[in-house]
Chains A and B, each alone.
Chain A
């Protein structure tokens, strides 16, 4: 099957669904029926049906939301079905499904936000939520509703068939395959766990400026965890793959790669040593090491931290902060990446925003409130975990463009240091800029050569300092194919990071003395 736009495949999919004997898990919500009845492309009307509203109802809710003098309001409707299935001890014996439906109503007055949400989409419940959100303002100014105009969006996540149509019986063999391959690959493997997740999100945003927009957002991810034992010593590691893909992403090649990488990254650790702790040269491998950009600069460039005066990047726009060959972007438009969005959760177009261009700090990442505050166009970074949360500036796919050096040159230049390859998590302290990222596995570099493996060490640095210390940047940029989940203000957002092979001249690595 060829990849189609979501509007087209939803039609095809609906036809297909009628032929499939096993019901996909639609939950109690009418998505299946809506899709089946959608004659042709999915339209705004189908979304109105899904959320049981129309323009008149939306106008009514908006009028209530703005009745106390709010400047602006938006309604964020969301329907999401999430599935996970897990394999352990050779059995796929656990599955979970979550159906989530609701609307979040936000009222803005200046920089102030009033927010409420309800999972009950009746006029009564939505009116009550709108009244609650309206309380952020305390006037009586009535605002006449503006006619809603559909805003068309591009499609950065073409897939073959929506997850709504993919049944558990199609997924179970994928987990089984990965498990069996991992077990076959190396007889030191003792335990395998595979976890598979997919979700289907339909969202619609309408705002008091008259914009209405809808989007279908697929997402999937597979984790393979490996435990192995050799001469009484045990090690663990994992690999993951994911993005806004359909089930076709789990090709034989990709399944093999997940299995092989998870096993390779585990059994290598039998030779691992603990590095000597302290400051050293660190070479970041191309790909998922981009987490360093996310922590060292990405968060500090989210406009809310700057608007509130918390970030140490506040007032640094236009200043030189890194070498000429350092260019870092946040690009929500990369096809099928985990951090990709057609439209942000405030209804603004997704963008490729340049954070640092040839070493010069260029732009913050904005949401609606901050773009008004700074009098700039929104950058399409207003994101939220669900209808229960207010949108805030978030990263999408953050990566560094290619530089002038080769990987060999970079590794060859290190006398004694670390080659950092696989990561689990990171964190930044916005004000002082100290950030960390946890190295699950990597290697020592001795006299310009990769030697013994290392594992489980935290790396800690300072954001502005580390940007200055990017002394060599490779010509081999890669995106970390597993992507990550970023946490901020209690909200999770799917993101991706990437970078070319890069040398940091000095950073503190955890270890022994």
Chain B
């Protein structure tokens, strides 16, 4: 099935749903192909290749709402599926906010090429895929006998999707993504097995960074963890490396969601136009970045996307507002969740930031932890390096960083220039003052 056929199918499903009693309906029809290669012990360890289809139907009947998905797209099967989907909705409560977005939000959709589909996708061969994984592993294993385990990965995905709403929305898109990853475990004298990884995801095959360099970096990072220990609890300056999981940013985004505000689970309620972070923080939601991993012309509800300043020099400018919670709050919708997050970047590299900090902790990774959107409290496990006089002194781990979101982001003193383009969250390394670390 191609996107044109998917569009026809979606329209047929909507008609059937309306015949069964739905007032409105929204339908998504998707196809994806995923290929994964794993290499280990100088041989192909795992090869997965599969294509699948799915259909999602959202039913709006008499102010009642339910959604249903299936992977059986046979029309006879779908007829029954649709009938039951609509029929089930009647057991739910009426909720006047459960309606499709106003069609005015579908207008003004940009007509630009976001370059999220690689036209050369078809020409990537199995040999290409296996070669990348094989060479990454060989590179890592060849560096030292102390590399005790190594698995390398290559994966790509191809996706086509079509969306139709009964009140006038129609859209189709296709995208590709390519990923390479390597995990390395090394041994030290004390039976500890420090490990690290590196991974990069891009939209175009040709944009994958050098895979052998990636393997070398992962090994170097794993070796740099030998002898890691926890250090004394206390307040330290902190730099978070750009590639570390975006835990602290997630703790910031959660209270910005309309759902949490409406459900009284947000410490940012009533904070619009007020300062929630230091003036170093400017956060922009930009759905139009070419090759961007979060780029999209319309969002999950069909609403045309817009570039939006979320936080400007520390002042909260916008929430993430979807259609339903927007209606409940009486607010205009913006976007339900972030597309590409970009920042106002500084002019300092990670090394410059380390030199600027002098003494403190460079966080290179987070492990576990969570945040509370109601109070803003957070606590995460960290892995990193202790820095003294601008130099790495020793690797640290088994420590927690804890605090409160507003307090933390007000302590941001510098954003680096090292924009991380391998994620939809294009963060840079960030430097914070006086943060609570728990260790010994």
Chain A contacts to B: CB under 8 angstroms: 22-23, 25-29, 85, 88-89, 91-102, 111-119, 129, 132-133, 135-136, 167-169, 172, 190-191, 193, 227, 229, 234-236, 274, 277-279, 308-312, 388, 390, 424-438, 455-462, 508-513
Contact = CB atoms under 8 A, between A and B. Distances in A.
Given A277-B233, A311-B193, A512-B402, A99 B264 contact: no
Q: Is the interface of B mostly helix, strand, loop or mixed?
A: strand
B377 A113 contact: no
Contacts of B47: 113-115, 133, 135-136
Given A434-B381, A510-B401, A112 B43 contact: yes
Given A27-B81, A97-B68, A277 B437 contact: yes
B80 interface: yes
A227 B265 contact: yes
A222 to B, nearest CB: 17
Contacts of A93: 64-65, 92-95, 98
Contacts of A311: 193
> How many B residues are at the interface, by size bracket?
35 or more
Given A432-B194, A438-B379, A96 B66 contact: yes
Given A93-B98, A438-B379, A510-B379, A99 B71 contact: yes
B39 to A, nearest CB: 10
Contacts of B381: 427, 434, 436, 458, 460
A28 B72 contact: yes
A95 B60 CA distance: 11
B148 to A, nearest CB: 5
B378 interface: yes
B370 A438 contact: yes
Interface in B116-152: 126, 148-149, 151
Interface in B78-104: 78-81, 84-85, 87-89, 91-95, 98
B199 to A, nearest CB: 12
Interface stretch (B48-56, B212-220, B332-340): B48-56
B374 to A, nearest CB: 4
A509 B402 CA distance: 10
B440 A168 contact: no
B48 A116 contact: yes
Interface string B217-233: 00000000100101001
Given A28-B77, A278-B233, A462 B398 contact: yes
A119 B70 CA distance: 10
Interface of B: 40-41, 43-53, 64-72, 74, 76-81, 84-85, 87-89, 91-95, 98, 126, 148-149, 151, 183, 185, 191-195, 225, 228, 230, 233-235, 263-265, 328, 367-375, 377-381, 383, 397-403, 436-440
Contacts of B263: 88, 191, 193, 227
Contacts of B88: 25, 95, 97, 168
B368 A426 contact: yes
Nearest to B70: A99
A27 B264 CA distance: 36
Nearest to B41: A111
Contacts of A431: 149, 185, 192-195
Contacts of A462: 398
A459 B185 CA distance: 24
Pick the 9 closest A-B CB pairs, nearest first: A277-B438, A436-B368, A28-B77, A510-B400, A93-B95, A431-B195, A431-B193, A427-B368, A510-B379
A39 B367 CA distance: 53
Nearest to A118: B50
Nearest to B40: A308
Contacts of B69: 96-99
Given A95-B89, A277-B438, A119 B46 contact: no
Q: Is the interface of A mostly helix, strand, loop or mixed?
A: strand
Give the one of B64, B93, B235, B398 with max A CB within 10 A: B398
A89 B259 CA distance: 12
Contacts of B91: 22, 167-169, 172
A119 B84 contact: no
Contacts of B373: 236
Given A115-B48, A277-B233, 9 more contacts: A23-B84, A111-B41, A111-B45, A115-B47, A236-B375, A310-B149, A508-B399, A509-B400, A511-B436
B58 to A, nearest CB: 9
30 contacts: A22-B91, A25-B68, A28-B76, A28-B79, A28-B80, A91-B94, A93-B65, A94-B98, A99-B81, A101-B71, A111-B41, A114-B46, A136-B44, A172-B91, A227-B263, A234-B264, A277-B233, A278-B438, A312-B191, A390-B48, A425-B368, A431-B193, A432-B193, A458-B379, A458-B381, A462-B398, A508-B439, A509-B438, A511-B400, A513-B235
Contact of A236 (B50, B89, B265): B265
Contact of B398 (A26, A95, A274, A434): A434
Contact of B195 (A97, A310, A427): A310
Contacts of A512: 402-403, 436
Given A93-B94, A277-B400, A277-B438, A456 B71 contact: no
B440 A278 contact: yes
Contacts of B149: 308-310, 431
A424 B371 CA distance: 10
Given A101-B71, A191-B264, A132 B230 contact: no
Contacts of A234: 264-265, 374-375
A115 B400 contact: no
A223 to B, nearest CB: 14
A89 B80 CA distance: 32
A113 B45 contact: yes
B225 A97 contact: no
A88 B78 CA distance: 30
Nearest to A460: B381
B233 to A, nearest CB: 4
B439 A278 contact: yes
B420 to A, nearest CB: 21
A434 B396 CA distance: 11
A429 B222 CA distance: 13
